[in-house]
Amino acid sequence: GDLRVTIHAVASRMVDDAVPLFVVGNSLGANLITKYLGEEGRAGTLPPNVAGGISLGNPLQIHSHNMHFPWAELLGMGVKKMILMHWRAFRGATSLDHRAAIRKALLSRTIGQLDCALAPHMIRNNPEYPFEVRVGYEDGEAYWDDASSHKYVQFVSVPLLKVTAQDDFLVYNSSMRKMSHCLENPNVLVVRTKCGGHLGWQEAPPDTGNAFGFGTSWADMATT
């Protein structure tokens, strides 16, 4: 929903429809933009400015229970950190069910357990036009199925570059299992690199930064 509103707002402010707008996503963001392009392509509602997209490190299929130690635990900790950072908003929940779900999520050990706890309370959009807002999934399985982008790749109507690294420990296997969906669409170009890890192509060149390896990111180097 947020992505759709943002893209439509940016496109509506462009004076000329001929000015191209490209969407780029990393990891789960890559899954999100792929799903968006597929939904809009199927409905025929993609803004004319949107000329293409780049999907970097897209898992294609999301299923948090398939993640193993330590990544399942680390990603779960990351989401719990975000909940605590916005605790003032969560604390204002008046529904007892919602409060219980938040408590259960904070006590979850893995990202899969956390997803299952929060799925019935998630705000989402219907994938069919007019993409109306809905609340809640039946369970974590329903959430993961709806969130996965592989079912929508066939409907992408603009050029989409999908880049995956062979040594990406997070998404490579998942991405390969659903790669046929990408290869069936002539608008999708798939690039598989030998190395790069999970989004490692965006690192700065080795001669930049300090002795500890911290410096300007590749994205900043390319755009500023």
- Residue 199: alpha-carbon gap to chain centroid: 13
Tokens 């989409």 locate to: 160
Where does residue 23 rank: exposed (0-12), middle (13-18), buried (19+ CB within 10 A)? Answer: buried
CA atoms within 13 A on the CB side of 169: 6
Q: Which residue ranges of the chain lie beneath pLDDT 50?
A: none
- In this structure, are residues 31 and 61 in contact, taking their beta carbons and an 8 Å threshold? no
Q: State the Cα–Cα distance between residues 78 and 18, nearest whole angstrom.
A: 40
Two tokens, residue 35? 């799903």
Cα-only R_g, the chain: 19
The three-class DSSP label of residue 74 is: helix
Supply the pLDDT for residue 40: 96
- Angle subtended at Cα 66 by Cα 61 and Cα 70, rounded to the nearest 5 degrees: 120
Supply the pLDDT for residue 219: 57
Q: State the Cα–Cα distance between residues 60 and 58, nearest whole angstrom.
A: 5
Chain segment 162-215, per-residue pLDDT in tens? 999 999 988 999 999 999 999 999 999 999 998 888 888 766 555 555 555 556
Supply the pLDDT for residue 213: 53
